[in-house]
Amino acid sequence: MTYNMHLVENYLIAVGVITQIILITLQLGAFRKTKHPSLAVMSVASAFNVLYVLTSYGARHFPASGHNPLALYLLAAALLTVQSAILVWSVSSLFRAFERACSPRDSA
C-alpha cells in the first residue's frame, strides 16, 4: 500500500473511532437523564464497534509481521456480529419507547 493510502486508512479509522467515542458519551449522557436501558445497551454496542474497528485494522496489518491474521479476522467477525445484534435490539427498543411516548393517550 502506498504512503498516501496508509494516511487515508489511518484517517478513516481515527474518524470512525472518535465518532463512536462521541456517540458513547452522548448515549450514556442520555441514559443518565432518562434511565432508559436501551441507551445504555446502545453504548455497549458502540463499544463493540470500536473493538471491531481496531481488531480489523490490526488484522489487516498483522500479515506484515509474517503471521496468519485469521484469528483476528474471526474475532473481528464475532465483534461485528455481536455489535449488530445488540444495536438492532437497542434501537428497536428505543423506537418502541419513543412511539409510546408520542402516541395519543386514551381520554376515556
Domain boundaries, the chain: 18-100
pTM of the full structure: 0.83
* pLDDT tens digits along 18-68: 999 999 999 999 999 999 999 999 999 999 999 999 998 888 887 666 677
Mean pLDDT within 11-19: 95
Quick one: cell of 86? 445488540
Mean pLDDT within 5-25: 94
Backbone dihedral region for residue 35 (phi beyond 0: left; psi -120 to 50: alpha; all else: beta):
left
| Cα four-point dihedral sign 96, 100, 102, 104 | positive
